[in-house]
Structure 1
Amino acid sequence: MNWGHKIIIVFAVFAAGMLTLVTKSMRTKIDMVTQDYYGEELKYQQVIDGKQNAAGLSAPIMVAQPEEGIMITYPRELLGKTINGRLTFYRPSDAGKDIHLSLQPDPSGHQLINRQLFIKGQYRMKVQWTINDQPFYQEQPIHIH
């Protein structure tokens, strides 16, 4: 085999490799963090204010994983107050597996979430609420096992 044939074989292998890479990259699913990223960016000042307000509480919102499910424990300042807010469990690997719930603490400041809603793996818990028109925001990673 002469050197001309070897060059053609190298180019053919290179072209086949490039086509394989392009095909695989076209089939890869990429989820955005949010579909309305521009609108969320405009509201980000509320998140900054919410983080500052949440830092002023006596304790952060705590997450535990007993056998019954996922237990959310709210700070004592929130007990007995009217809370409007939402709890989001963001799944970075698949936006279709995100979980959105409303904040519904019991009188003792706990909220139990059914474990069946979750798939084992990494989530980012985002808690956003208001009390007397004052925004609060907390975010933390959790691993469901």
Structure 2
Amino acid sequence: MLGMKFNWGTGVFLAFVAFMSFILYFVISTLTDSDLNYDLVTDDYYKKELGYQKEINALTRAKVLGMQVQFEETTEGVVLTFPEKIDFTKVKGTMFLYRPSDKHLDFEIPISLSDSHLLIPNNRLKDGRWDINVEWTYNGETFLSKKEISL
């Protein structure tokens, strides 16, 4: 190596080796970094995809029959208002609150109504974006209402 000349070919080769070393270092450090999480948005993504048509049907049924849940953000929290024309004691279902940025904050609440309103208190909701899905049945029919809120 002592008697070797440094010409443009050697410079290109060394630049290429340095570039490839940088790319290799970057790929390896990215793949092994435990701070980076590569989870799917939901764990059962493919299973949910198969049930998507049922979701569309429930959303459409709620809209056509006027059985949509109304969402209102208040100082106490998010108030859900069910249609006034129904018997609240016959409503069964669940409300799923999904936090896209952190799946550990997701939670589900069973629906139990004594009147047309249901409150999700602010202390249950961390600031940020939430997707609220309310799936409920009444007289054997399933309805779905969805809302995206930002606190």
TM-score by length of 1: 0.81
Distance 2:14 2:53 in 1: 58
Percent pairwise identity: 26
Residues 28-68 of structure 1 deviation map (CA, whole Å, 9 limit, x = unaligned): 21332432333333333321221121112436322222221
Unaligned segments of structure 2, at least 5 residues: 1-5
Asked whether the 8 Å contact 1:50–1:136 carries over to 2, the reply is yes
Asked whether the 8 Å contact 2:95–2:109 carries over to 1, the reply is yes
Distance 1:21 1:42 in 2: 34
Matching residue's letter, 2:78? I
How many residues are treated as equivalent by the alignment? 143
Matching residue's letter, 1:19? Y
Q: Secondary structure at the match of 1:35?
A: coil
Whether 1:54 aligns to 2:62 is yes
Higher relative contact order (CA 8 A, sep 6+): 1
What is the correspondence of 1:65-144 to structure 2 with a 5 Å cutoff? 65-107=73-115, 109-144=116-151
By how many angstroms is 1:7 displaced?
3.1
Cα RMSD, aligned residues only? 2.3
Distance 2:117 2:88 in 1: 12
Unaligned segments of structure 1, at least 5 residues: none
Bigger Rg, which one: 2
